[in-house]
A and B are shown apart, each in its own frame.
Chain A
Amino acid sequence: MWDDIVEVIIGNLLYIAEEYTDPLPLLVMYYGLTTVIGGLIISRRFVTLRRDPMAGSFIGFGAALLGFGIPGIYAVHQLTPEKALGLVDEASTEDVQFRFDTNVLWGMGAFGFLWILLTILAANTEPSRFLVVVSGGVYRGMLIFLVAAGLSIIFGLMDVLNFAQGSLFMVGAYVAWEVYGELGDWRETSLGLAAAFLIALIAATVVGTILGLIMEVLFIRPTYSRPFFQVVLTFGLALILREYAISRYGPAALFNVDLRFPDGSSTILTGLFPGTSIQNYWIFMSVIGFIMIFGVQYLLQNTRIGIIIRAGVQDSDMVEALGINVRLIFTLVFALGAAIAALGGAVASGFLAPNPDIGDQFLLQAIAVVIVGGLGSYSGTAVSSIVLGITGAIASHFALVEYSSDALGSTSILIILLIVLYIKPTGLFGRAH
């Protein structure tokens, strides 16, 4: 088996070297190089980006998409004024060592790994199939991310590994299903359908928030002095939620939320790209995921509560000594994490049929993403969920093609987790503490 894998990799490399006439792998390689090198250049230029593994590479990717290429990015580098360094006083330039934060290097390494995989995939598949695999991977990454986001913030700030996060995802899916079912009459018009779905999403988020508040105040707060039991406790809470779902809805999966009109004709969510094999819902899901990534990123980077959360991740005692009620912040953060997970479940219910295990399917991958991303590093979680999501999709694809086997997606993610933990026990973007 291993011989086969090594053979495939070497064969692919040789193939890329010889058959350079195929444009797709070259194009992918170009995008990859632009993303990584452009990201490095951009990060070097803007001091404020130098610690963020995500922003630089996204800008690089954006530049590549716009057709700038590396020369374009270099031009940006040359033309931007010194002020872009983010320094108030020009005289102090020598104070700042031109050294990348290791986070950015690890981030670029992760993206480099992803682009190598993509190039191999591109060299082995039809262009249309390539797009299907990649968009499926992004969708998978976003699903994982929606479970992982709350996990990451809660884990980072409060050192609580919340095993109930997957169950909150499940709760969101069921609540959305129920509410949408209640509003079945509204589905006649497209406006009513959209409103019903929106109300379902909001209801799921509200229920998730309330559940999160209850869990934090009743269960998590009394056990801060016993971290081990806290982990075990969330395990128990997950068990209760799951069993409650089974006793209420039965162990089998329900039907997913049907976003078509009652007569079966497509709405914008189900029929945006008719005729392609890319699921339209994947795109919707990915858009929601990216909105969440950047929304929470904005919350963390640019608001006062975000600053408090980031400071609390490092030293919550000191934050409290500055006159901030950290316990209240903890409760809010826990509720926020629960809300994101519930929203994720609600969004996913349009494509995945709600079932008692819907959350736990992604929980382990979400934990893998959080740990690979590094403790308390939100952008690390975002980057690694995209990278690992696409990696999982590619692994599934190759397993299907080469061995007619399935389910290797999550296995490959877990194997990557094991390797990363052996190499860097704090995760790619995490700091030892």
Chain B
Amino acid sequence: MRENRLHRRHPLVQFLLDNGIYIIIAIVMWRLPFWLGEYFDKPITELGPRDVRGNVALSWMAVAIELYIVAILAMSYNLILGFGGLLSFGHALFFGTGVYAILILMTQYSHSLMLSTGMALGLSVVLGFMVVLAAYRIKGVYFAMFTLALAQVFYELSRVNLTREITNGDDGIRFIGDNTPEIGLTVNRLDLYYLCAIVMALTFVFIRRLMNSPAGKVILAIRDNEERTQTMGYNVARYKALVILLGSLLGTLSGVLHALSSKGAEPGSLSVARTVDPLIMTIIGGLGTNPGPVIGAALLHLGEVFLSKPDLHVDLNFLVYRYTAVVDTRSEWALALGIVFVIIVMVIPYGVVGQVNKIWIQVRRWLRKFFYDPLIRQNEKLATWMEPFTGEPPQVAIALAQLSSTESVSQWVFKNPHAVLTSILVVVPVIVGFLQFDWRATASTFLFLLVIIVPLRLILWGAQKFGFWDTTTAP
């Protein structure tokens, strides 16, 4: 689609359009601990002044940390299921491997964190190879059952008496007292928060780049038609191995982070629930999409945190006078989740992201048909305002692209007065906001500039219309 454009967008503009939302999210992730600290400092919450490590802020930070960890798990699962097309029900194995390996190696063998992590990843490669070997021979539902059984064997082995010396049965292992390694990560939540945030961001970027690379295209081709890809001369086995091993490594990595954040390992980290969670997250968010698993993880995890409180007071005062519904969501949350899950699978099988994409494409087609095409015939100017919605290159972007190749800046300014004004409107508030680090500064600057620039543009437009300013001729 992008190749068919008459005008190519400036690479920077294209980059911002593609990644702007991720940059914003990254900034939010960066500032979140400080916002939490600030917010809970305020006396109106009646919680008393607390610093970042205060209880309430800390509990919300723990929520964020856990969210990043399950997001990594969901992304790694999506790599195998959504992109690789391999129905695996044994992802808990990799997660649990990470959790147990860290705890066992650090408490019983007193290895350092880095060495333990390395050994955990090595172990997950070994286990991953078992799955890879199975994937060569075993297909479809049989493969799903193989992985499920494999994970379940380890789950059961982690609980029985036979392995009590290593795994301590149902009680699990914990970092207690002298066992607790003297590393900042288990002590300082802020460090752990940034570690998890960075690992999650890197995982996201890595998977996104991988799937946009030629290797990623082959992986998708194998998912869609294995025989054909094989006939085309690609080594299907190698790509399958790549997908499974990467998925297992990332799954183990999220297990390692979970071990550090929860400071303990228990059989639950190997149980089927640890496979079902990323499965549901991936499906609700959007199977085989990049942001899907993250969105699913956020929806599910935050939903659980917000909705499984004992009583949720749904404030309907704005609708009905003095009406507050009290819903006991704790027991109904999982049931509601199941129902929502089934409805999503039935109605929007490709999840939130898939559906939004579908609707967006439809809306754009619709806008283009009923608004853009008639408009562009009548009034080019109005069409320009519609451009962000119809997918055409904005006039501003074209002008910016020309800026890089123009000879004199003054000439360019004369030719593109609208672009200059619009750029000021967008750029200046952002810069001001960054300098003061306050979104209110951005907003007020924007409003201030809007008041000045909109009349200016109207005057300009009138001048052009009635021939006082001919932009085609340079001074």
Contact = CB atoms under 8 A, between A and B. Distances in A.
Given A407-B159, A421-B146, A422-B134, A247 B152 contact: no
Given A226-B349, A417-B149, A422 B137 contact: yes
A367 B145 contact: yes
Interface string A228-256: 11011101110110111011000000000
Interface in B306-320: none
Pick the most buried of B148, B331, B337, B342: most chain A CB atoms within 10 A of its CB.
B342
A246 B337 CA distance: 14
A239 B334 contact: yes
A243 B338 CA distance: 8
Contacts of B337: 239, 243
A228 B159 CA distance: 32
B44 interface: no
A228 B339 CA distance: 18
B74 to A, nearest CB: 15
A399 B342 CA distance: 40
A417 B153 CA distance: 10
B152 A414 contact: yes
A213 interface: no
Contacts of B339: 240
Contact of A411 (B133, B134, B157, B332): B157
A420 to B, nearest CB: 10
Nearest to A423: B137
B359 interface: no
A407 B156 contact: yes
A421 B335 contact: no
A231 B162 contact: no
Contacts of A406: 160-161
Nearest to B344: A236
Given A161-B141, A399-B160, A237 B342 contact: yes
A223 interface: yes
Interface string A146-178: 000000000100010100000000000000000
B144 interface: yes
Given A219-B346, A414-B152, A405 B160 contact: yes
A93 B339 CA distance: 60
Nearest to A364: B152
Given A229-B345, A231-B141, A415-B153, A364 B335 contact: no
A418 interface: yes
Interface string A389-414: 00000000001000111111011001
B335 A418 contact: no
Chain A contact patch, size range: 35 or more
B454 interface: no
Given A219-B346, A417-B145, A232 B279 contact: yes
Contact of A233 (B134, B138, B141, B346): B346
Contacts of B152: 364, 410, 414
Interface residues of B, number: 37
B341 interface: yes
B142 interface: yes
A247 B335 contact: yes
B150 interface: yes
B137 A229 contact: no
Given A219-B342, A367-B145, A421-B145, A414 B335 contact: no
A14 interface: no
B145 A233 contact: no
A425 interface: yes
Interface in B292-336: 331-332, 334-335
A222 interface: yes
A247 B161 contact: no
Nearest to A163: B89
A260 to B, nearest CB: 33
B145 A410 contact: no
Nearest to B148: A364
A75 interface: no
Contact of B149 (A229, A235, A244, A364): A364
Contacts of A1: 162
A368 interface: yes
Contacts of A411: 153, 156-157, 160
A235 B334 CA distance: 13
B223 to A, nearest CB: 11
Interface string B265-298: 0000000000010010001000000000000000
A161 B144 CA distance: 10
B342 A414 contact: no
B87 interface: yes
B139 interface: yes
Nearest to B328: A247
Contacts of A247: 331-332, 335
A153 to B, nearest CB: 15
Contacts of B342: 219, 233, 236-237, 240
Pick the most buried of B87, B162, B339: most chain A CB atoms within 10 A of its CB.
B162
Nearest to A415: B153
A387 interface: no
A298 B332 CA distance: 44
A371 interface: yes
Pick the most buried of A161, A226, A240, A399: most chain B CB atoms within 10 A of its CB.
A240
Contacts of A219: 342, 346
Contacts of A405: 160-162
A169 B209 CA distance: 46
A32 B136 CA distance: 36
A371 B145 CA distance: 8
B335 A232 contact: no
A411 B146 CA distance: 13
Nearest to A241: B338
Interface string B138-181: 11011011101110110011011110000000000000000000
A218 to B, nearest CB: 9
A418 B153 contact: yes
Given A222-B346, A246-B334, A407-B156, A418 B149 contact: yes
A228 B87 contact: yes
A243 B334 contact: yes
Given A232-B283, A425-B139, A425-B142, A414 B149 contact: yes
A228 B88 CA distance: 11
A232 B156 CA distance: 24
B83 to A, nearest CB: 14
Given A414-B153, A425-B137, 17 more contacts: A161-B141, A161-B145, A229-B349, A233-B345, A236-B345, A240-B342, A243-B338, A246-B331, A246-B335, A247-B332, A368-B149, A406-B160, A408-B156, A408-B160, A415-B153, A417-B145, A426-B142
In the A-B complex, the 3 residue pairs with the closest CB atoms: A405-B161, A240-B338, A243-B335
Interface of A: 1, 155, 159, 161, 219, 222-223, 226, 228-229, 231-233, 235-237, 239-240, 242-244, 246-247, 364, 367-368, 371, 399, 403-408, 410-411, 414-415, 417-418, 421-422, 425-426
23 contacts: A159-B141, A222-B346, A223-B345, A232-B283, A236-B341, A239-B276, A239-B338, A243-B335, A246-B334, A247-B332, A364-B148, A364-B149, A367-B145, A403-B162, A406-B160, A408-B162, A414-B156, A415-B153, A417-B145, A417-B146, A422-B137, A425-B137, A426-B142
